[in-house]
Homo-oligomer: A and B are copies of this chain.
């Protein structure tokens, strides 16, 4: 019943993690996450290179298809008005491809927002962890300062007041020693003080990168949406120059789609390796970055019954010392106040300080317990390995759909364009209304040519 249910790798992580990896010499590479090793980097680059291969193949296919279409057209019988058969099929397949592309764009928007959600969950968990760590620091400083102040002023006053009775002075000195011991023990509980790694900084860096990634995808999606809509408009209005411009733009977006697919595939594969067993990697990395002892880090990253609280000993010692100070103060109140009434004020003030210190101590126990920080760790992992990975897979699906749709459109567009009526009876400037009678007539003409 110790820790709440934490992060568990999803089915997608297992699936991606099980894909075989190879380096540039096509030797198999183990799928453990090791971004600093050259072999592993090569394996990820190879995954990204597969998308480059896909781009090359689809460009070759489009080129071959179009060359075959241009050169191997059956000779038209002279004077025949009817266009080659299958033109309607070409136009319709182009429209269907663009509609598939639009559906892919919808999926892309969803995936982009899902990834963004996951990453913002990660950075909010980091901010929360930062809050906890700085709260520990702040609480320790405050408590130690308050104890020091009490030792310097009230206990000194008390010793001066009680100077005549040595056994009472000894009790006050005992309380001073205990208070100093508590301050010492508490000082050592602020384990994150002076650590060079700031979760706040990491969260800010992650948010910064994510902002640009999000923006880049939104721009890509909008570009593709515009290309799809303007191509449909060009087909509907039979505007040759618009279709030509959009064919060139489609080629550009095709290259961008394959490029983003390569990035997404490599990131998804790397992320799945990380997410299949993140604890060890994160533990080692944090240990390198912070120099903290492994028992503290294991306590927070694992937080189960098997790992004991590394602060247990210090907390227990502080707790006992606080209880001892309390009983010493009570003894002093009983013994000294009847004889030295001026001792009452510093004693009451000391008891007040002790109460506040005990309250702070309980808050510190709560903050130091692994539950809170481990929950943040789990939330960060869930954000990265569930939401962000899922979003990445949606983005991958978007890239795949749009690459397919754009390749089909690129094959169809020049053929559809060839079916447009010749531009001499088509004036591009004076027909903005697709529903005017002339336009309808031209549309009918085009349709009848299909």
Contact = CB atoms under 8 A, between A and B. Distances in A.
Contacts of A444: 444, 447-448
A131 to B, nearest CB: 5
Count chain B CB atoms within 10 A of each CB in A131, A134, A312, A319 and give the residue with the most: A319
A371 B5 CA distance: 18
A264 B448 CA distance: 48
B372 A1 contact: no
Contacts of A192: none
Contact of A128 (B4, B92, B138, B359): B4
Contact of A135 (B2, B92, B110): B2
Given A4-B128, A371-B372, A443-B447, A358 B319 contact: yes
Of the four ranges (under 10, 10 to 19, 20 to 34, 35 or more), the interface on chain A belongs to: 35 or more
Contacts of A365: 362, 365-366, 369
A139 interface: yes
A371 B362 contact: no
Contact of A366 (B323, B324, B369): B369
Copies, count: 2
Interface in A291-344: 308-309, 312, 315-316, 319-320, 322-324, 326-327
A323 B450 CA distance: 94
Contacts of A320: 323, 326-327
A363 interface: yes
A326 B312 CA distance: 15
A106 interface: yes
B88 A435 contact: yes
Given A326-B320, A440-B447, A363 B369 contact: yes
Nearest to A142: B1
A197 interface: no
Smallest CB-CB A-B distances: 3 pairs: A323-B323, A366-B369, A366-B366
26 contacts: A4-B128, A88-B440, A92-B434, A106-B106, A309-B359, A312-B362, A315-B362, A316-B358, A319-B323, A319-B358, A320-B323, A320-B327, A324-B327, A362-B365, A365-B365, A365-B369, A366-B372, A367-B369, A367-B371, A371-B372, A372-B372, A375-B375, A440-B447, A443-B447, A444-B448, A447-B447
